[in-house]
Amino acid sequence: MRIKDYYSSIIEYDLIHRFYYTTTKQPKLKTLTISTLTGAQTIKLDKARLALEILTQKKPKIIKAKTSVAGFQLRSGMSIGCRVTLRANSLYQFLDQLQLIMPHMTNVPFKLSGIKNGVFSFAVTNLSLFSTIKSDVSLGVDIQLRTDAKSIFETLFILNSLQILVK
């Protein structure tokens, strides 16, 4: 909850003065989506589902294949991954955890190309960086942070204020 307090007390104030907002129309963090694709292997899918459930305290939704791909031996309707969408308090709790592992990530700072229309996407290649996940789980996740910012400058300002480094 540290980030939620920081966002509501400091970042919102800075947004008002930097972009001349009134208090009602400034951009906010909307959702954070964590997803992983494991393929059709059920053991990997179960590990991924449990890891996301431990990490977010939410039950992941199973992602199913929409079309068949013969080269990958994939059939329509097969389970290929899982996804969790976080909003409100759970979003800020996960951002607190993410801020703790940022110094240990190897692909930081993130590339600017990951920002489009208020959506910032990046990957965490090793979930064992999180303290709640055991080190034997070698699984990566894709994370999308959605804001209702109207421009890339507002999104960059929010990300840099949250100390998510973007180059």
pTM above 0.85, yes or no: no
Single out the residue of 82, 49, 85, 79 nearest to residue 66, CA to CA: 79
pLDDT (0 to 100) of residue 114: 65
Single out the residue of 118, 152, 154 nearest to residue 21, CA to CA: 154
Asked if residue 102 has pLDDT above 80, the reply is: no
Q: What fold does the segment set 28-161 form as a domain?
A: 50s Ribosomal Protein L5; Chain: A, (3.30.1440)
pLDDT (0 to 100) of residue 75: 83
> What is the tens place of the pLDDT at every residue in 66-84?
888 888 777 888 888 899 9
- The domain locations on the chain are 28-161
